[in-house]
Chains A and B, each alone.
Chain A
Amino acid sequence: MRPAVRRWVFLIAGAGFVAFYLWGLTGLPGFGNYPGPYGDIINSVAVAQTKATGVVSAINFEYRGFDTVGEEFILFVAATGVSTVLRHLRGERDRSALDEALDRNAPPTSDAIRMVTLLFTGPTVVIGWYLASHAQTSPSGGFQGGVVLATAFILIYLAGQFLVFERVSPVDVTDAVEAVGAAGFACIGLAAVGLGLAYLSNYLPLGQTPGAVDSSGTIALISFFVGVEVAASFVLIVGELLEQTLLVRQESR
């Protein structure tokens, strides 16, 4: 299909979509008139039931915990998928730019970048752990914390070179950490079954103060394992993509 024809087909289809969408909007309750009832019910019972003040985390790791297991495994499978798709094809091998031009040195990373990344790596790790371990308290949780933690490794890559990134996050170790994170979540759920409860029931003591670090039982623990898993997944995915651009070359014939 020629681009101009394609654009016309899209515009006609788009006009139809807009018409149906506007027609559909007339039946909605309108922005700000939330009809309920699920959100209101959960908001009124969640803090008393789970001792978590972050209701979104309570939903994620408690009320629909089984769903979140699936969500976590989506990331797990994506990391596996990226490694599989980016496996070495025939005739490819690892060569860094340094190997290709032995007589030329790679330009050194500028001191400004080194200083800034060095300054930020520590705080990034702290913020990542803070987010991953306070799911029950504030707007945070394992998913957000894990992504921030993975950023710390990308800062290390920026400060040094890809080989340093590989040294601080060897693929085997990251793989194992990812598996521990994913299995940890699943096993917390299975432990509930072992105790004669439903899968992913909250069997740990809930604590007294809602929102305290030791409150909310399994919510905090699951969030920790999710943080580990998400961080490892992202480090793996970013590592695979970096390796493609920096190391893998076609074998010269």
Chain B
Amino acid sequence: MHIFPFVVVAWIVGVGLYGLVTSRHLVHQIVCLIVVQSSTYVLLLGVGYVSGAVAPYFYDIPLHTPAVDPVVQALALTDVVVEAAVTALLLSFAIQAHKRFGTLDPQELAELKG
């Protein structure tokens, strides 16, 4: 049984989470969150893969050629859109945090009150 792609998923999640935990900069932390989220692309496409199948586009290939699952690919698109939206919002929060407290270190921000 091939599980290698799913091991890659866990690795990407782990690397991203490690970055989140040890980060000393909010922008770096946001990038780590993007890394964690990008694992879901690998997971979605890995779940829908069919050995030896083509992409689900039947423009120049005959109908009923075995193709991979298009449902998870559509979900990956949603995933990308949500990631873009979340990243934009988090970055603007980071800008406001820096304006207000003069620091982007999560450790120092946690110590501030108010």
Residues of A near any B CB (own CB < 8 A):
3, 6-7, 10, 14, 17-18, 21, 25, 28, 30-34, 36, 38-40, 42-44, 46-48, 53-56, 58-60, 64, 67-68, 71, 74-75, 77-79, 81-82, 85-86, 89, 137-139, 141, 143, 210-211, 234, 237, 240-241, 244, 250
Most buried by B among A38, A39, A81, A244: A39
B109 within 8 A of A: no
Give the residues from 39 to 80 in chain B that come closer than 8 angstroms, CB to CB, to chain A. Answer: 46-51, 55-59, 63-64, 67-74, 77-78, 80
The B contact surface, by secondary structure, is helix
Please tell me if the beta carbons of A60 and B77 are within 8 angstroms of each other in the complex.
yes
Complex alpha-carbon distance, A48 and B51, angstroms: 25
Please tell me if the beta carbons of A56 and B6 are within 8 angstroms of each other in the complex.
no
Complex alpha-carbon distance, A32 and B3, angstroms: 9
Complex alpha-carbon distance, A237 and B90, angstroms: 12
B10 within 8 A of A: yes
A sample of 7 more A-B contacts (CB under 8 A), given A56-B56, A71-B81, is A10-B22, A32-B2, A36-B69, A67-B78, A71-B82, A211-B58, A241-B95
From B56, B74, B85, contact of A75 by CB (8 A): B85
Q: How far is the CB of A2 from chain B (nearest CB, A)?
A: 10
Number of CB contacts from chain A to chain B under 8 A: 153
Please tell me if the beta carbons of A10 and B17 are within 8 angstroms of each other in the complex.
yes
Interface residues on B, range: 35 or more
Contacts of B74 in A (CB 8 A): 56, 59-60, 64
Please tell me if the beta carbons of B64 and A44 are within 8 angstroms of each other in the complex.
yes
Q: How far is the CB of B80 from chain A (nearest CB, A)?
A: 7
Please tell me if the beta carbons of B88 and A55 are within 8 angstroms of each other in the complex.
no
Complex alpha-carbon distance, A53 and B61, angstroms: 10
B113 within 8 A of A: no
Contacts of A68 in B (CB 8 A): 78
Please tell me if the beta carbons of A14 and B50 are within 8 angstroms of each other in the complex.
no
The residue of chain A having its C-beta at the shortest distance from the C-beta of B6 within the complex is A25
